[in-house]
C-alpha cells in the first residue's frame, strides 16, 4: 500500500475510533441519564428530536422538584424569588433570579417556556437600581468598575438562557472582549490598579490590597460566561485574541503575580465578580491531587479556543483517553465545580447524586460536550 494511502487509511481509522467513542458515550447517557441530558443530547448534539419527544422531555424537566421550586417562587412581575446574586436569608440557593435563570438555561428549558420568558421579561422591565438587585439602590456601572456590576451578572444570565437574540446585550459582549484584550495591552493587573494600605490579616500580613482604576477593564468569570454562551462575537480575529489572553493568564513564571486580584473602589473596597489573575488553571489541586475543571474546559472549547491553546488540547486529550469501553468518563474531575448550580460553580443536571450512576452521567455529559465543542470525532 503506497505511503499516502496508508496515511489516509490511518486518519480515517482514527476518526472512526473517535466517532465510535462518542457514540458509546451518547448510548450510555440516553440509556441512563435524566430528562435534561437526554434532551440536550438530542437537541444540541444530534440535532434530531421530534416535536412529540421534545414536548415530553420538556414536561419532565419542568416537573422535577427543583424546577417546581423555582416556578413556585416566581413573583407576579416575573422575578424569581427574593434575591438576585445568589441566596440570602430570604432566598434559598435556587430561589433567586440569577441561579433560577441559569438553572433553566443549563437544564435546556426552551425559550418559549412561560416561566423563563417571564423571568427574562423581568430583566427588561426592572431598573438596575431596584432593591431586588440587592445593591441598596446603587448602580455599579460595569463600564466604570472593572470586573464588576450587577448588569454584567444580568447579561450573563441572559446569555446562559439563550436570550441574547431577544434582549440586547451587545455592549456587554463587546465589553467582555475588550476586558480580555486589556490583558494583552498591559504587563499585568498591577498596571490597571493601585495599591492601598489596609489592616494586616493572616492571609495578607502586609495589609496591602489593590483596587482597579475607574473606567479600566479586566476580565472576570461573568465576561467569560457571556462569551462562552454567545456566538455573535466569533470572528477569527476575536477568537485568536481571546486565546492569547488566556495563554497570558495561564502563565506561572511570575509567582509574585499568581492569584493576585483587585477589588473595585466605590468609596470602600467592593469585591469583584470573579476577576481573573495569572496562574489561571484548568485543574484544581488539593492535597497533592489534580482534578480537571470540566466547566472551565467546556467554556474554553465553546469559545473555539481548542486549536489555539496547547494546554486546552492536552486536557481534551486526557478526557478523550479517560472514556472507558462503556462510554463512561473516568477522568479525575473537580466534582465541587460541577455539583449543584450556583453563582460561581455548578452544572449538575441530574436530580441528585445519591446513586453513583447519576454522578457519572453528569460527568460524562460534560466530557461529551467538551469533545463536541472541541470538534473531536
pTM listed for this prediction = 0.94
Distance (Å, whole) CA 244 – CA 229? 20
Q: What are phi and psi of 263, to 5 degrees?
A: -105, 175
pLDDT value of residue 376: 72
Domain that holds residue 375: 16-58+281-377
Question: Would residue 320 count as lying in a domain?
Answer: yes
What DSSP designation does 44 have? Answer: I
pLDDT value of residue 4: 54
Q: Look at strands 264-265 and 269-270 and give their pairing.
A: antiparallel
The three-class DSSP label of residue 243 is helix
Question: Would residue 257 count as lying in a domain?
Answer: no
pLDDT value of residue 205: 81
Question: Would residue 255 count as lying in a domain?
Answer: no
Distance (Å, whole) CA 330 – CA 324? 7
Q: With CA atoms as reference, report the closest residue to 227 among 79, 373, 45.
A: 373
pLDDT value of residue 11: 53
Question: Would residue 264 count as lying in a domain?
Answer: no
Question: Would residue 240 count as lying in a domain?
Answer: no
Average pLDDT along the chain, 377 residues, taken 10 residues at a time: 52 63 97 98 97 98 98 98 94 97 98 98 98 96 98 98 98 98 98 92 84 98 98 98 98 95 96 97 87 98 98 98 97 96 96 97 98 87
Question: Would residue 319 count as lying in a domain?
Answer: yes
Distance (Å, whole) CA 248 – CA 277? 10
Our CA angle for 265, 220, 93, nearest 5°, is: 95
Tell me the three cell numbers of residue 339: 455539583
CA distances from 146 to 47, 84, 104, 159, 230 (A): 39, 20, 28, 20, 21
Question: Would residue 334 count as lying in a domain?
Answer: yes
Question: Would residue 95 count as lying in a domain?
Answer: no
pLDDT value of residue 374: 97
Contacts of 286 (CB under 8 A, 6+ apart): none
* Neighbour tally for 228: CB within 10 Å: 21
Number of domains in the chain: 1
Amino acid at each position: 500500500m503506497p505511503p499516502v494511502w496508508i496515511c489516509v487509511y490511518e486518519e480515517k481509522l482514527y476518526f472512526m475510533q473517535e466517532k465510535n467513542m462518542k457514540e458509546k458515550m451518547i448510548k450510555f447517557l440516553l440509556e441512563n441519564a435524566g430528562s435534561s441530558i437526554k434532551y440536550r443530547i438530542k437537541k444540541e448534539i444530534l440535532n434530531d428530536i421530534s416535536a412529540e419527544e421534545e414536548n415530553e422531555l420538556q414536561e419532565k424537566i419542568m416537573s422535577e422538584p427543583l424546577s417546581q421550586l423555582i416556578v413556585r417562587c416566581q413573583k407576579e412581575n416575573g422575578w424569581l424569588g427574593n434575591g438576585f446574586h445568589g441566596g440570602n436569608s430570604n432566598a434559598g440557593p435556587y430561589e433567586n433570579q440569577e441561579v433560577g435563570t441559569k438553572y433553566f438555561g443549563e437544564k435546556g428549558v426552551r425559550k418559549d417556556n412561560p416561566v423563563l420568558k417571564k423571568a427574562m421579561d423581568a430583566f427588561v422591565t426592572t431598573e438596575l437600581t431596584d432593591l431586588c438587585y440587592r445593591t441598596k439602590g446603587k448602580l455599579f456601572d460595569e463600564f466604570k468598575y472593572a470586573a464588576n456590576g450587577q448588569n454584567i451578572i444580568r447579561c450573563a444570565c441572559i446569555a446562559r438562557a439563550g436570550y441574547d437574540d431577544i434582549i440586547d446585550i451587545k455592549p456587554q459582549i463587546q465589553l467582555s472582549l475588550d476586558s480580555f484584550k486589556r490583558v494583552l495591552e498591559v504587563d499585568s493587573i498591577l498596571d490597571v490598579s493601585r495599591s492601598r494600605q489596609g489592616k494586616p490579616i493572616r492571609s495578607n500580613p502586609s495589609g496591602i490590597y489593590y483596587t482597579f482604576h475607574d473606567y479600566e477593564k479586566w476580565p472576570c468569570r461573568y465576561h467569560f460566561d457571556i462569551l462562552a454562551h454567545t456566538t455573535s462575537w466569533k470572528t477569527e480575529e476575536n477568537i485568536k485574541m481571546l486565546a492569547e489572553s488566556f495563554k497570558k493568564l495561564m502563565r506561572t513564571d511570575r509567582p509574585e503575580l499568581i492569584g493576585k486580584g483587585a477589588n473595585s473602589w466605590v468609596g470602600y473596597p467592593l469585591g469583584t465578580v470573579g476577576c481573573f489573575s495569572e496562574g489561571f488553571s484548568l485543574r484544581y489541586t488539593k492535597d497533592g491531587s489534580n482534578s480537571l475543571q470540566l466547566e472551565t474546559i467546556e467554556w474554553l472549547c465553546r469559545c473555539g479556543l481548542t486549536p489555539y491553546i496547547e494546554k486546552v488540547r492536552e486536557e481534551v486529550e486526557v478526557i478523550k483517553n479517560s472514556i472507558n469501553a462503556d462510554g463512561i468518563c473516568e477522568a479525575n474531575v473537580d466534582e465541587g465545580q460541577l455539583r449543584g448550580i450556583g453563582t460561581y460553580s455548578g452544572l449538575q443536571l441530574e436530580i441528585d447524586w445519591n446513586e453513583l450512576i447519576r454522578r457519572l452521567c453528569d460527568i460524562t455529559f460534560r466530557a461529551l460536550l467538551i469533545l463536541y465543542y472541541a470538534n473531536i470525532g
